[in-house]
Chain A
Amino acid sequence: MKVLIIEDDVEAAAFIVKGFREAGHAPSYAADGETGLEYAMSDDFDVLVVDRMLPKRDGLSIIAALREQGKQTPALILSALGEVDDRVAGLRAGGDDYLPKPYAFSELLARAEVLARRTTPGEAQTTYQVGDLELDRLSHTVKRSGEDIPLQPREFRLLEFLMKNAGQVVTRTMLLEKVWDYHFDPQTNVIDVHISRLRSKIDKGQDKPLIQTVRGAGYVLRDTA
């Protein structure tokens, strides 16, 4: 995927660029707001990673300018502010996700990848299928190898998010955000326990486990076949 990083901290930018390259992506880099906006306008990127405070032009105004020009490239905002309402301000300006500094690179990578995959906003898929696992959003049913698996509502939402982003690493913070709508960092292993419960219902007794743990990052639901 083509990712544009607009970040004025050279060291942080170099770290991010290196990380994206190692993950098999094609990162570009701009050190100030004006250049960043120019790049973003002239090329088709899959995702933008925009620092909020930049020389010449701040991150939110870049995104607002892009949206005004009809550019819908998903944008992830990085911010050192991290105030409760900064997230709201960022998302209101047209940002698609928000990550307060300091962050772990694995978190940034996972979020950027999820954003890039989201081609059209508001796509409403009613069923998901990964391997022999099926999820029907309308009838609220989950089947593995054609066999019904009863799930709690919360487990259903957890699985739905994993299946929607199948093949994609999702972090614990993302899960807490999407499934519980809380944006704090789950300090304890609460999310892991939820995943292990879900796993025991989905993968128990199966020779091909679908939910996998990605060390130091999060989880991925993937058909390993």
Chain B
Amino acid sequence: MSSATRLRPFRTTAFKLAAGYLVVFGLFALGLIGYLVFETSSVIVRDVDQRLTTDARRLGQHYQRAGINGLFAAMQESAQRPGNRIYALLTPDGVEVINSVGLLPDGVWDEAGLARFAYKQIGPDGHERDSRAIVRVFELPDGFRVLIGLDIGQSDVIRQAIGRAAMVSMVLLALLAVLGWFYVNKRVLKRLDGISQSTARIMDGHLSERIAVMGTGDEFDRLADQLNVMLDRLERLMNGLKEVSDNIAHDLRTPLTRMRNQMEDALRQPPDNATDRAALENALGEAERLMATFQALLTIARVEAGGRRHTLSQTDLGQVLTDVMELYEPVAEDQGVSLTFKPASEVVMATVNRELVGLAAANLVDNALKYGAGEGGTIELSLSKATNVAVLMVTDNGPGIPNGDRGRVKDRFVRLDKSRTADGSGLGLALVEAVAAFHDGALDLGDAEPGLRATLTLPLGSPEASS
């Protein structure tokens, strides 16, 4: 790995993601805890208030029945019971005649109603301890003031417990964030890094290198799959280019040399109009064949380059095959070959480039006429419709192609006829293959026992794709 592509931990996406999540979740946790604390204490206050109200009602009944003395007696009795209740009674002169807790803070008597305060509680053992209480103060008509309350020292315990839980969860959260960072770093960034390493090697010229697919089916696998498909295509194009230049060098040199020799030979002879003309005509014919070969090569190259989806239109494939059959029927008849077309049971419409499909079908028939069916032979064109695809078949009953050669004949300039006496550039099947690839279809060469069955499969495509 070069230093330029080495990972810097704090600049990586994984770190930024983990840090971002930590902040967001931290804030969220803080908010949640704050809300919990607030809700808990307000629940406690409501609960306390309700209990105080009940108690006050009880004491009120005593007061109504037996006046201040009855109240005093009831409070005195309640104050002596163990528990966290607080009772206090203040005379109009300001004397606390009952006080169940000890020292009450200043001003607590001044206002009637609900109040919360901190105070010093004297425990049974005589020690003071800090505590909190919620109290309610009532003023009686004869100037006495009654204080009833509840020690809520416990609720602070709850608050502290929540606080501790919050601390623990924050620590856990931070830990999880770090773990997440490590995980993302290890799993995600390592894979991204793997992809960049692979592409770097591919750019260095290792064209057959591919990006590893882990088989997890995640987005990285999908990305890797897509990239690999792209690389396959790229490699095919590169190989195609190399192949074309190799083939041009090998296959076009022969006719060029032949042409040159004929001309040289003509020039060496004494001038004679008839011989000269014959030589010129030969040379012209040779040049025309060369041009046709070039034309075919260029067409293949253009079709292979693809990318002209806007040339597609809704096409009746049955019509295309009928046209091709009509075009070749007289030639076939002259050769004593029966050429027939078996149409599909329904109209087969496909979004294709009509010109190219026609060219491909013509090439297949041409091929069958040249190399397949001889005198008395048969060539059958057929069209059928399968799931989302149209299947065009050209079947002859000729010698066929040996299994081992079937892949090879689709390459450019390959002619199984070693003597190369049959005319033709050896580009026909390469062109059909290119047309198939252009439409995301396939060309398959099979055995018709005897003979060759060329099957061109074309996706029907969506009618909307046409323009």
Interface residues of A, Cβ cutoff 8 Å to B: 82-85, 88, 102, 104, 154, 176, 180, 182-185, 187-190, 193-194, 196-197, 216
Contacts and interface: CB of A to CB of B under 8 A. Distances in A.
Contacts of A194: 327, 330
A102 B330 contact: no
B294 A184 contact: no
A193 B310 contact: no
Contact of B366 (A104, A180, A188, A193): A188
B70 to A, nearest CB: 109
B329 to A, nearest CB: 9
The 10 tightest CB contacts between A and B, nearest first, are A193-B330, A193-B331, A184-B359, A84-B311, A85-B311, A190-B331, A197-B330, A182-B358, A102-B291, A154-B326
Contact of A83 (B288, B302, B366): B302
Contacts of B323: 180, 182
A185 B291 CA distance: 11
9 contacts: A83-B308, A102-B291, A182-B323, A182-B358, A184-B358, A184-B359, A187-B425, A189-B331, A194-B330
A84 B291 contact: no
**Interface SS of chain B:** helix
B298 interface: yes
A88 B354 CA distance: 14
Contacts of B296: 187
A187 B424 contact: yes
A184 B355 contact: yes
B295 interface: yes
Contact of A193 (B288, B334, B362, B425): B334
User: Contact size class for B?
Assistant: 20 to 34
Contacts of B366: 187-188
Given A84-B356, A189-B331, A102 B292 contact: no
Nearest to B303: A84
Contacts of A184: 299, 355, 358-359, 362
Given A180-B323, A188-B331, A194-B330, A84 B308 contact: yes
Contacts of A187: 292, 296, 366, 424-425
Contacts of A83: 302, 308
Interface string B84-107: 000000000000000000000000
A102 B294 contact: yes
A176 B327 CA distance: 9
A111 B287 CA distance: 21
Interface in B214-253: none
A85 B310 contact: yes
B30 interface: no
Contacts of B328: 190
Contacts of A190: 327-328, 330-331
Q: Which of A83, A185, A193, A197 has the most CB of B within 10 A?
A: A193
B90 to A, nearest CB: 103
Q: Which of A83, A176, A184, A196 has the most CB of B within 10 A?
A: A184
A190 B292 CA distance: 16
Given A180-B323, A193-B330, A197-B330, A84 B302 contact: yes
Contacts of A196: 330
B425 to A, nearest CB: 8
Contacts of B294: 102
B185 interface: no
A6 B358 CA distance: 33
Contacts of A84: 302, 308, 311, 353, 355-356
B339 to A, nearest CB: 12
Contacts of B291: 102
B465 interface: no
Nearest to A215: B281
B267 interface: no
Given A187-B366, A188-B366, A190-B327, A216 B284 contact: yes
B57 to A, nearest CB: 95
A182 B359 contact: yes
Q: Which of B299, B327, B356, B370 has the most CB of A within 10 A?
A: B327
A145 B330 CA distance: 26
B449 to A, nearest CB: 27
A218 B299 CA distance: 23
B190 to A, nearest CB: 45
Given A84-B356, A197-B330, 7 more contacts: A84-B311, A180-B323, A182-B323, A182-B362, A187-B296, A194-B330, A216-B284
Interface string B314-355: 000000000100111011001000000000000000000101
Contact of A85 (B308, B334, B359, B369): B308
A88 B326 CA distance: 26
Contacts of B353: 84
B282 to A, nearest CB: 13
A18 to B, nearest CB: 16
A85 B467 CA distance: 13
A185 B295 contact: yes
Contacts of B362: 182, 184
Contacts of A185: 292, 295
Contacts of B310: 85
Interface string B268-291: 000000000000000010001001
B75 to A, nearest CB: 103
A88 B358 CA distance: 17
A185 B299 CA distance: 11
A102 to B, nearest CB: 5
Nearest to B326: A154
A196 B366 CA distance: 19
Given A187-B366, A190-B327, A82 B298 contact: yes
Given A84-B356, A182-B359, A104 B288 contact: yes
Nearest to B431: A184
Contacts of A82: 298, 302
